[in-house]
Copies of this chain bind each other. A is one copy, B any other.
């Protein structure tokens, strides 16, 4: 497996999507409007992480680009919960990629407490050998949800992906309190 070559279209997809979505934020600002997009990050899954998934899920290397939907990943952070849905609408109205799937973990949190809106897209990348459709995952979440996810990921990583049960429990409570905090923010904002 030539990983360097494998990653080229994914890296290109992430770079282009970041540039495009950050451009959207700038456009709102230049128009004197409030941008629902606070900031945008992106990453390509590491070789290490893909290889680990191949083993764990018994994946076929030849089908990786079909079976793994998040090799290319972009994350959009919003200030307010309601902005998540504004961003989702913006993404749906674009003509430069196709949405394949949506999962709303903002309204329906995962059991861990994780919240985020996931969209799987098919993005056309221009390779020198022609157009290539690449699967990518866009996650939309508030900056507060992103804080929780960052900390949960860090603690999980340090425990080799095996968090002790009491810690999982504590983290779920932190996620719930975090979401309640986000909702109070929205209420204060609506009271303006």
Copies of this protein, total: 4
Residues of B within 8 A of A147 (CB): 143-144, 147
Which of the 9-residue segments A23-31, A55-63, A109-117 touches chain B? A23-31
Nearest Cβ in chain B — how far from A87, in angstroms? 10
Tell me how far the C-beta of A131 lies from the nearest C-beta in chain B, rounded to whole angstroms. 5
Chain A interface secondary structure, helix, strand, loop or mixed? helix
A178 within 8 A of B: yes
Interface residues on A, range: 35 or more
Contacting B at CB under 8 A, from A147-184, are 147, 150-151, 154-155, 158-159, 166-167, 170-171, 174, 177-178, 181, 184
A75 interfacial contact with B, CB 8 Å = no
**Contacting residues of chain A (117-132) with chain B, CB-CB under 8 angstroms:** 124, 126-128, 130-131
Per a CB cutoff under 8 Å, which of B24, B174, B181, B188 touches A184?
A: B174
Within 8 Å of chain B (Cβ to Cβ): is A107? no
**Contact status B27-A12, CB under 8 Å:** yes
Q: Taking the complex as formed, is A191 at the interface, i.e. its CB lies under 8 A from any CB of chain B?
A: yes
Closest to A125 in B: B23
Tell me the residues in window 49-101 of chain A with beta carbons closer than 8 Å to chain B beta carbons: 79-80, 90, 93-96
Q: A interface vs B, CB < 8 Å?
A: 4-5, 8, 11-12, 15-16, 19-20, 23-24, 26-28, 30-31, 34, 38, 79-80, 90, 93-96, 124, 126-128, 130-131, 143-144, 146-147, 150-151, 154-155, 158-159, 166-167, 170-171, 174, 177-178, 181, 184-185, 188-189, 191-192
